[in-house]
Amino acid sequence: MDIDHGKYIEEKKSAWKIFDRIYKKYDLLNHLLSLGFDFHWRKKLSSLTGRKGDGMLLDLATGTGDVLFSLIKHSGGFNKAVGVDMSFNMLSHAVRKSVKRGKSGDVEFILGDANSIPVKTGSFDIATMAFGIRNISDPVIALRDIRRTLAKDGRALILEFSLPENRFLKSVHLFYLRYFLPVIGKLISGDVEAYRYLNKTIEVFPYGDKFIKLMEEAGFTECEKFPLTMGVVTIYRGIKTNG
Ligand SMILES: C[S@@+](CC[C@H](N)C(=O)[O-])C[C@H]1O[C@@H](n2cnc3c(N)ncnc32)[C@H](O)[C@@H]1O
């Protein structure tokens, strides 16, 4: 896919504004467009934290908070769970959901940028980011800052779209991304730009070993990848083994 690189970077810098517009329909579209697989992806993310009922959790680009809520549910809770996002409307929705679910005492939401995370160095055991790193203009800068927030032996778990290795599955998936997703996205959210942006970023964002290299460049060690659902998404895990 041909892209105008300068325009693409500028779009990424203001990607949060798209979510600020579509926040009311975001959760519904997420479940619909992933055919409900998003629940399974978050559950798998939870199993890779290696924690059971303790530790400090930081979720970047938390949006409406579904990763936080899922990790709290499947990991048996954390000592503290913090969600950070640039979109005020997405965060407000997350706060409303936490009150509704009786979780408002367990979580804290902060308006902030994943490139310069407003939390203390070395204060978290797990840092997660689901479908956020693709929206960052320089992923390595964000990954370095994510690493900074972690205590020694802390884990970063990044869940992001990828493309299937199998050529046939890849072309079917690209067809879905280019022609089906923007139409459904527009019908439900009324915002065609949002879902065109989504398919454009998925197609050009580095995945698999290329993304592992970015994690290593940011200082993570023991980096691993876990492709899910025929490779349409991948979870990447990296450890902060030294200060
Ligand atoms: C696709 S949503 C993902 C939300 C959530 N993690 C999930 O899995 O449903 C991407 C989120 O990234 C946020 N975002 C975009 N750029 C950001 C940045 N620089 N720092 C923090 N959040 C950002 C958007 O506001 C949006 O809520």
Predicted confidence band at 14 (pLDDT cuts at 50, 70, 90)? confident
- Higher-pLDDT residue of 8 and 134 is 134
Residue 221 lies in a domain: yes
Residue 43 lies in a domain: yes
Pairing verdict, β 233-239 and 221-228: antiparallel
**Which residues is 107 bridged to in the sheet?**
81
Give pLDDT, residue 188.
80
For residue 59, give the ligand 1 atom closest to its CA: 6
Single pTM value for the model: 0.94
Residue 228 lies in a domain: yes
CA of 120 to the centre of ligand 1 (A): 20
**Gap between the Cα atoms of 63 and 69, Å rounded:** 12
Q: Which helix (H) or strand (E) holds 78?
A: none
Of 12, 14, 19, the one to substitute when testing ligand 1's pocket (max ligand atoms within 8 A of C-beta) is 19
Give pLDDT, residue 231.
97
Q: How far is CA 217 from CA 9, 60, 178, in A?
A: 20, 19, 31
Which alpha helices (DSSP H) does the chain contain, by range? 5-13, 15-33, 37-47, 66-75, 88-100, 139-149, 167-175, 181-189, 192-204, 209-217
Orientation of helix 192-204 relative to helix 15-33, angle to 10°: 90
Residue 170 lies in a domain: no
CA of 177 to the centre of ligand 1 (A): 19
**Nearest of 242, 199, 207, 204 to residue 222 by alpha carbon:** 242
The mean per-residue pLDDT over the stretch 41-55 comes to 92
Give pLDDT, residue 5.
65
Nearest CA to ligand 1 atom 8: 130
The CATH number of residue 149's host domain is 3.40.50.150
61: Cα within 13 Å, side-chain hemisphere: 23
Give pLDDT, residue 2.
58
Of 11, 14, 16, the one to substitute when testing ligand 1's pocket (max ligand atoms within 8 A of C-beta) is 16
Residue 118 lies in a domain: yes
Give pLDDT, residue 200.
79
CA of 168 to the centre of ligand 1 (A): 30
Tokens describing residue 221? 């060690």
Q: Which domain holds residue 61?
A: 5-24+34-163+207-239
Give pLDDT, residue 102.
84
Residues contacting residue 155 through CB under 8 Å, at least 6 positions apart: 48, 49, 50, 125, 126, 127, 237, 238, 239, 240
Of 39, 42, 135, 201, the one to substitute when testing ligand 1's pocket (max ligand atoms within 8 A of C-beta) is 135
Q: Write down how long the chain is.
A: 243
Residue 121 lies in a domain: yes
Q: What is the pLDDT of residues 55-91, one digit of tens each?
A: 999 999 999 999 999 999 998 889 999 999 999 999 9
Pairing verdict, β 150-161 and 233-239: antiparallel
Looking at the structure of the chain, the number of domains it has is 1
Q: What is the pLDDT of residues 134-192, one digit of tens each?
A: 989 899 999 999 999 999 999 999 999 999 999 999 999 999 998 888 888 888 878 77
- Look over the chain and give the mean of its residue pLDDT values, rounded to a whole number: 91
DSSP string, 194-213: HHHHHHHHHHHS--THHHHH
Give pLDDT, residue 210.
97
pLDDT of 243 over the 90 cut: no
**Gap between the Cα atoms of 180 and 178, Å rounded:** 6
Give pLDDT, residue 106.
81
CB of residue 161 inside a 6 A radius of ligand 1? no
pLDDT of 1 over the 70 cut: no
Q: What is the pLDDT of residues 187-210, one digit of tens each?
A: 887 877 777 777 778 888 999 999
Residue 39 lies in a domain: yes
Residue 56 lies in a domain: yes
Give pLDDT, residue 8.
62
CB of residue 90 inside a 6 A radius of ligand 1? yes
Q: What is the pLDDT of residues 93-119, one digit of tens each?
A: 999 999 998 877 789 999 999 999 999
**Gap between the Cα atoms of 215 and 234, Å rounded:** 14
| % pLDDT > 70, the chain | 95
